[in-house]
Amino acid sequence: MRVTVAMVPPEHVIDEVEAALARTPAPPGEFERVARGSLMVPVFSLGNVTRPEAGAVAQLLRTELDRSRPAPEVSLAGVWALEAEGDLTVGLPLAGDVDRVNELARDMWDLVTVRGYFVDRRRWAPRLTVGSVTATTSLPFLERLLADLGGRTYPSWSVSSVLLVRRRFDAPDPDTWEMVEEVRTSVEHD
């Protein structure tokens, strides 16, 4: 199974993101929304691993991750769109304790690479991707979408855990992910 370690916003934050996306309905073919079950901030992929291997990584993170500090407090603020060459995504950047989130990601990378897992750090972006533009996306639609998404205030939350998730290919929606393991990132939430 292909496993990803991700920060997943709580349901009330996802509800706000879904409401923001619904305010600007996309004309057919102009925007490929990320399915609700895929709204997460991926930290890194473990690749194709067995369930016991995923469990071993989760246990490694549970025992070796420094959990003495409070969980990072973050929210979504602003909008990210088409910022890098070839990047067709639209997302909501994390705001708040982003330095601590970046530190948490680096700590996890360091722990798993010592165990022989390759981590492509270039893929890390502290943002929640909500969709992608297409070849037929019109500028007026994109401008409205970015104004609606970026002009909202989203609730904050504590990144008190990360999830090891896998894509559910047997689900009715192929973009459905399921939790394999949960790892707390701070002792205050145990």
pTM given for the model: 0.88
Give the total number of structural domains in the chain.
1
In the prediction, which pLDDT does 170 show?
66
What's the domain range around 30? 2-189
- The CB-side HSE value for 33 (13 A sphere, CA atoms) comes to 15
Residue 81 sits in a domain whose CATH number is 3.90.1140.10
- What pLDDT does 189 receive? 47
pLDDT of residue 186: 82
Per-residue pLDDT of 98-133, as tens digits, reads 999 999 999 999 998 888 888 887 788 999 999 999
- CA–CA distance, 44 with 51 (Å, rounded to integer): 17
Mean pLDDT of successive 10-residue segments in the chain (190 residues)?
90 95 93 91 89 92 87 95 89 96 93 86 89 95 94 92 82 72 76
